């Protein structure tokens, strides 16, 4: 991976994490170069890093309906260009 990309952007292939992040920060891009695994790309910010820590510590509370609707939107974007 390009070091400049890693310095300014956060990347994850975890759909659950990407969905949660996208509730608070826009998806900048989706890398589909690997046909078996998409990589979601977000702009790095201090708020994003805090959100990721909260996600892994199970501290984020989101309504199930809000999460599910966002998951559908992320999947729609993921599969839109196929």
**Structural contact between residues 43 and 51, judged by C-beta atoms closer than 8 angstroms:** no
Is the pLDDT reported for residue 6 higher than 70? yes
> What was the pLDDT predicted at 82?
60
Helix residue ranges, H only, the chain: 3-8, 15-22, 46-56, 64-79
**Structural contact between residues 41 and 31, judged by C-beta atoms closer than 8 angstroms:** yes
| Stretch 19-48: mean pLDDT | 95
pTM of the model: 0.88
Non-local (6+) Cβ contacts of 75 within 8 A are 15
Q: What is the domain partition of the chain in residue ranges?
A: 3-79
**Structural contact between residues 42 and 13, judged by C-beta atoms closer than 8 angstroms:** no
Q: Rounded mean pLDDT of the chain?
A: 91
């Amino acid at each position: 991976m390009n070091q400049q990309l890693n310095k300014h952007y956060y990347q994850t292939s975890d759909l659950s994490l990407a969905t949660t992040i996208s509730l608070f920060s826009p998806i900048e891009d989706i890398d589909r170069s690997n046909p078996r695994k998409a990589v979601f790309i977000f702009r790095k910010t201090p708020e994003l890093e805090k959100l990721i820590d909260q996600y892994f510590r199970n501290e984020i509370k989101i309504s199930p309906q809000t999460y599910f609707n966002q998951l559908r939107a992320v999947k729609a974007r993921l599969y839109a260009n196929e």
